[in-house]
Amino acid sequence: MSSNKPKDETAQKVPQSRFARLSRMGALATGIAGGMVAEGVRQLAKGNRPKVSQMLLTPANARRLADQLSRLRGAAMKVGQLLSMDAGDFIPAELSDILARLRSNARSMPHSQLQEVLRSNWGEDWEQQFAFFNFKPIAAASIGQVHEAFTRDGQRLAIKIQYPGVRESIDSDIDNVASLFKMSGVLPKELDLKPLLEQAKAQLHEEADYLREAESLKHYRSLLNDSQHFLMPEVYEQWCTKNILVMSHVQGLPVESLTGHSQALRDKVASLAFKLFFRELFEFRFMQTDPNFANFQFCTQTERLVLLDFGASRHLPVFLVEQYGCIVDAALSGNRAGLDSAARAIGYYDNNTLARHRELVLDLIELACEPLCTKGEFDFGHSDLAQRIREKGMDLGLDRDFWHVPPVDALFLQRKVGGVFLLASRLKARVNIQAQLPEMFT
C-alpha cells in the first residue's frame, strides 16, 4: 500500500483523561490571570486605572483562550465555536473575532495517536484494505479530523476519524469551560450561558456517534434524490464504526471564499441555502442544524451546493413545523395577532410573560421576517437588519426579568436560520425569499 506519512509540526496529542483535560483548563486559567496582571501593571505604568474587564479582554488573553480550546478539541472547542456564532452580539469584538477561528481550524492528532485509533477500530492490518491512505488530514474540526484515501478499485474516500476521549469528556468539558468563563469574567455576567451549554452537550453527544451520522446522511440523500442542486457524499458502511465515518470524497469551493465571485453566483448560493432550509423545515421535517460555514461548499462546475456534515441532523416535531408555518402565514399577511398565537404555542413565552417582553419578542420575530415579507429581492449586502436585530435582542437579553427559554428544537431551528442569514450577509447576496418558499405558501 502506498501511503503518506509526513511529520506534522502542528499536530498536538489530544488529552484523553479527565485529569489531563482539567489540567489544560487550569493552565488556561493561570495564563489568563497572569496576562491580566501583566496588563494591569502596563496600564498603571502609563498612569491609567484600568477596569477589570479591560485587563481580562486583551488580545493576548483571547489568543490564549482560542489556542487552548483548539488543543483540547472536543466539547471544549465546540463551546468556543458556538459562542463565536450564537453569542457574537454579546461578547467583545476582540474575543469574538479570535473565537471565530475555531469554526474551521483545529490541531490534528499526531501520527502515533491516529494509528492507535485506526488499529483499535479496524485491526492491526487495516492498511491492507486501501490502495492509498493520506496520514496528513485534509481537515480538522472540533470532534474529528478528515483523511483522504483510495480503495483498491480506485474510489476516492473522505474518512472522518473521531479524536479519542471526545465522547467520554463531553459533559465535564462543557462544565469546565463554563466554570472557566464564570471564574475569569471573560464573558459579561448578564449573558445567561445555561441554555447554550445544555444545547452544546446534547448536540455533541449526537455528533459523537458516527453510526448515527451515517444513517442521517443516508436519510438526507434519500430526501434530496429529486434535486439536481445539491451534492452529498455516499456512505461506505463496511468501514464505518462509532468512531470512524467513511464516505465518498466530494469537493467544492468553501462558501466563504465566494465573496469575490459574481453577484449572480453569490445570489444563487444564498438562494439555494434558503430553499434547502424551507424544504428541511416544511417538507422533510428533518434538518441539519449546524450552520458552520465549513459544512458547505459550492461546486462551480455543476453549480451544486455541497453538503458535508450531518452529525447535528434531527427530526422536527410536527406541531413545531405547523406553528412555524403559522408564523410565515402571519408575517406575510401582516397579522401580529397571528404571530402572537404561534409564538406562544411554540414556547417563546407563556401566560406569565410580562407584556413588554412579549412585545419585544414579537418585534424580533417581525424583524427576522423582514426579508420574507419583501417583494422581490432582499439585498443582504446593503441592509442594517442585523444591527437592528442585535439592538432589539440586547434590549431583551439584558433584561434579567425575562428568563424564559424556548424549547430546544426551537433553539436549534433559530440557530440554523441565523446561519443562513449570516451566509447571505457574508456573500452580500440578493435573494427573493418568497420565491424559495414551498408551494403551500404561494
Strand-strand pairing, 2-4 and 130-134: parallel
State yes or no: is 171 an active-site residue.
no
Of these residues, 173, 267, 290, 309, which one is catalytic?
290
Enumerate the β-bridge partners of residue 140: 145
* Burial annotation 346-380 (CB, 10 A radius, 16+ → b, else e): bbbbeeebeeebbebbbbbbbbbbebbeeeebbeb
**The total number of residues written for the chain in this structure:** 442
Q: Which one, of 282, 329, 323, 285, lies nearest residue 406 by Cα?
A: 323
CA distance readout (Å), 387 to 364, 378, 423 = 12, 16, 16
State the number of CA atoms in the 13 A half-sphere of 127 facing the CB. 13
Measured CA to CA, the distance from residue 40 to residue 50 in angstroms comes to 7
Is the dihedral angle over the CA atoms 295, 313, 200, 10 positive or is it negative? Answer: negative
Alpha-carbon torsion angle 163, 168, 170, 173, nearest 10: -90
Contacts of 300 by beta carbon, 8 Å cutoff, 6+ apart: 252, 253, 265
Q: Which three cell numbers stand for residue 263?
A: 453577484
Provide the 8-state DSSP code for 233: P
CB distance 216 to 308 below 8 Å = no
d(CA 369, CA 324): 12
Query: Which residues are known catalytic residues?
Result: 290
